[in-house]
Amino acid sequence: MNFKIAVIKGDGIGPEIVDEAIKVLNKVGEKYYHNFEFTELLAGGIAIDKTGHNLPEETLEACKKSNAVILGAVGGPKWDSLPGNDRPEKALLGLRKELNLYSNIRPAMMFDVLKDACPLKPELVKGGLDIVIVRELTGGIYFGKKFTKNDYACDYMEYSKYEIERIAHQAFKIAEARNKHVTSVDKANVLETSRLWRKTVAEVSKSYPNVKLDNLYVDNAAMQLVINPKQFDVIVTENMFGDILSDEASMITGSIGMLPSASLGDNNFGMYEPIHGSAPDIAGQGKANPIATILSIAMMLKYTLSLHKEAESIENAVKRALEQGARTADIRKYEEKIITTEEMGNIIAGNIE
């Protein structure tokens, strides 16, 4: 089969980690007789430098014509002095909004061979950790009206019932295929948007009688992730809360360099990226961990292209590489040998079966 993939390598370590993910994807294509046609596009800081815009129109149009989008990372201190709307990170929000990517799926899994990297007590994560955070991605305070006037600034948090319904359905569908438990996170004791959120999620839950629904305030949810993470199966929450909680969950697993994400819209069209940033301090040094990007590719095969066997082959190849002792700097113990970004990609590609 033939698939058109838009590739936005971005800034910092973005090009390095995306190159290794493409290497693995091409190996999957060879093994399973698929052809992946890649179109490289600009967004973020590099786009500002080359075109004067953080998200060129041609990038958006090419993404819309593709089957899926692979994104590395955007941003860096080089562009920190730019106004908010001109910064590289604004390109990421623009892609999500223009491509209608309203659902962000972030698995937080702990590989057994990396359990010593978990900062929690061993008894809290005994038997492993497997949480999925479903974050609403195109609403809330990040996309609400905002303005600054002299010494006053304002950001509006806004949600419609429709926006909440569609993300809730996504969470319940995922939970149905897992452990049938959804935890909805809000701040309904304070925020009107959260009161609408809680009411709407409860209504949606009636369509999924086999899935248990719990509600937590966001501050309690943050504490519970640290003191009892195994209680969670699927967490669904609004944009800003999801941004914070998913980063917290990533560190519980041991390294932010290990975790992938999928941003999905209608008909399962998606953009796939690691949850970490551009890490400009290690860019070009071969120190970056490409596993999060490679696992994002596996999510692309599963969620958008419906190639489940192929996705599983990547997940197994990553697990095998870790069992073989392959370690980039962020996940190694003191006595373990550090390998480069490229070496990690080569080992995982070689493990594809």
Q: Are 107 and 260 in contact (CB under 8 A)?
A: yes
Residue 131: what are its φ and ψ, rounded to 5°? -120, 145
What gap in Å lies between CA 178 and CA 282, rounded to an integer?
Answer: 37
Residue spans of beta strands (DSSP E) within 32-92: 35-41, 68-73
Q: Which residues of 243-265 are buried (b: 16+ CB within 10 A; e: fewer)?
A: bebbbebbbbbbbbbbbbbbbbb
Q: Which of 43, 106, 45, 115 is nearest to 275 (CA)?
A: 106
Q: Are 175 and 234 in contact (CB under 8 A)?
A: yes
What gap in Å lies between CA 74 and CA 201, rounded to an integer?
Answer: 33
The answer to whether the Cα torsion of 100, 9, 303, 267 is positive or negative is positive
Enzyme catalytic residues: 142, 187, 219, 243, 247
Kindly state the tokens that stand for 202.
């409860």
Which residue's structure tokens are 């959260």?
A: 194
What gap in Å lies between CA 155 and CA 149, rounded to an integer?
Answer: 12
Which residue's structure tokens are 């599983």?
A: 312
Q: How many CB atoms lie within 10 A of CB 296?
A: 26
